[in-house]
Amino acid sequence: MSDCIRGEQTTREETIGSFLLPRLHEIGLHHVFGVAGDFNLEFLDQLEETDGLDWIGCCNELNASYAADGYARTSGVAALVTTYGVGELSALCGVAGSYAEHVAVIHIAGAPPLGKIEEHAIMHHTMGDGQYGNMLAAAQPFSVAQARIEPSNAVTEIDRCLRACLLQKRPVYLQLPSDIAYVTITAPVAPLTVTIGSDMAMLRDFSHAAAMKIQAAATVAILVDADVDRFGQTAKVLELAQRLGASAAVMGTAKAVVDETSPNYLGVYAGAHSQAKVRKVIENADCLLLFGVRFADSTSGSFSQNVIPDRTITIDAWRSTVYPENFEGIAMQDVIGALLRSVDPRKTLNTDAKHVEMSPTLSVNDSGVSQKWFWQRIQVFLRAGDVVAAENGTSLSGITGTPMPTGVTVLSQALWGSIGYSLPACFGSMMAAPDRRHLLFIGDGSFQLTAQELSSILRHRLKPIIFLINNDGYTIERLILGERASYNDIQLWNYSHLCSVFAGDTPFESCRVISTRDLEQALNRAADSDHCFFIEVIMPRMDAPEALRTLGPVYAQQDYGKSWERLR
């Protein structure tokens, strides 16, 4: 019986699936990624009956997890559905990447029937020991909330996990036994509420301490990491930089988060491997505001940052520090708002650090395509509002050094660094924002890991421009160790022919280019294309962006220590 208060219905009878699926749509989802399996089919039946939600089946669970990650980076949150054991463990690498890089993904794993779980029956897709806690245990380190959904806890556990996902911008895990999706429960009528609340006394104390530190500083600078984007604070951070007259640099994980056409934008900070002007401003600032910054080896030039702690103010998702004092329980968005209200405007922007990026003048002829020429040409090819997916290695290194027009989103996995990520992530992003132009840059080695998802791109008649950089194997690894070693070799594919294998009746265009003239012609056609355009670019095996060539030996020394010289 539904409860009523003052004549208004507050609850209703509905099935667990018909409660969970509208909740997903309510928080902004229009698509759900995954792979069908016999423990999730009833739930998928309900999904297909749910208005506003479309099922996006992927070629495998790993690709589905990457696609969900890309969708969430573009739209804010994503959902992933797998089956028990074999499906969810296949997806776990991608889910772990979302956890590491603070991406909100809701992972729903269909499980054996609840009765079979309770009687410890030996079911397929299990360890054959009648134990059913192991998949929950496997998910726990890579999610901020986990639950096995049962009729008795469905409402509270679903809402608890969804709130945790949205508030912490990390994956959550819902295990859904196969026989309960149509079980009726009493569910609230009211929509899900997600309240961001800060400790106001702590916020006032922080605001006062931070304002004092900023006021006492002759120079102020800002360093931004990916959480600024994850928590939707990009515009506010730039507004704060303008108010403070501060230059703002980004970590490599936050490429293009700050508008690179803004006079406040400084560049990418990578410790000792930064451009000199970027390093000087960031490391010499009397007060440095760090927004969500994590100094990882892959973004700091193997921990070569030189940031003096007592000059810093650190603003993280749910805590901040005016060194050395910590202020707990205050949200980033509230902190930025408080700073905008409490700090006085300044006009101390270091104009000496500014630079104007000129469009390069490039010769076009029958010579081969070098990395340097390619990325300079891509700089001109980019448009405002593009989404750029860049695979780890030469692609991400090239994109990191390429100036971005306003409104560009860069999809990369610079911290977790799972190769093959960018192709399915680009697919997921295109499902979230099909009206934005998507460009994918991926190496031949990485492409071979997830190439099947090219078929999903074609199946949905999406229109990316894909640059397959064919440099004959794992160039990034060759630059670290094993330049001539067989373990860095891969089988040569006829990459430009693969669209014809996957396309069915979907129109596409593909080509293989070996010269700058070939590439120029391909770019001119791709710029006006109304379908998927696949460009295989042949490049020399050991050619790479200069930053990657410099960092290869640095990472070799970090990873192998004194043995590196002998190993090389």
Q: At CA 399, angle to CA 396 and CA 403, rounded to 5?
A: 155
Among the listed residues 3, 13, 38, 48, the single catalytic one is: 38
Among the listed residues 102, 473, 536, 552, the single catalytic one is: 473
Among the listed residues 88, 125, 267, 428, the single catalytic one is: 125
- 61 catalytic per annotation: yes
- 124 catalytic per annotation: yes
Cis (ω within 30 of 0) for the bond into 324? yes
Buried b (16+ CB within 10 A) or exposed e, 405-418: eeebbbbbbbbbbb
Among the listed residues 42, 61, 316, 334, the single catalytic one is: 61
Q: How would you class 226 by CB atoms within 10 Å of its CB: exposed for 0-12, middle for 13-18, buried for 19 or more?
A: buried
- 13 catalytic per annotation: no
Residues ≥6 apart with Cβ < 8 Å to 315: 289, 290, 291, 292, 332, 335, 336
- 267 catalytic per annotation: no
Among the listed residues 87, 417, 428, 445, the single catalytic one is: 417
- 301 catalytic per annotation: no
Among the listed residues 13, 45, 124, 328, the single catalytic one is: 124
User: Rounded to an integer, what is the distance from CA 461 to the centroid of its chain?
Assistant: 23
- 477 catalytic per annotation: yes
- 297 catalytic per annotation: no
324: its two tokens: 């050395």
Among the listed residues 229, 260, 386, 444, the single catalytic one is: 444
By DSSP bridging, strand 508-513 and strand 319-322 are unpaired
Best CA proximity match to 527, nearest among 503, 509, 505: 509
Among the listed residues 477, 518, 536, 543, the single catalytic one is: 477
Whole-angstrom distance, CA of residue 271 vs CA of residue 256 = 18
Q: How would you class 361 by CB atoms within 10 Å of its CB: exposed for 0-12, middle for 13-18, buried for 19 or more?
A: exposed
Among the listed residues 264, 350, 392, 471, the single catalytic one is: 471
- 45 catalytic per annotation: no
Best CA proximity match to 281, nearest among 186, 353, 231: 353
- 417 catalytic per annotation: yes
The CA distances from residue 298 to 31, 171, 294, 301, 567, in Å, are 32, 23, 11, 6, 22
CA atoms within 13 A on the CB side of 93: 14
By DSSP bridging, strand 508-513 and strand 532-538 are parallel
Question: Which sequence positions are flagged as catalytic?
Answer: 38, 61, 124-125, 417, 444, 471, 473, 477
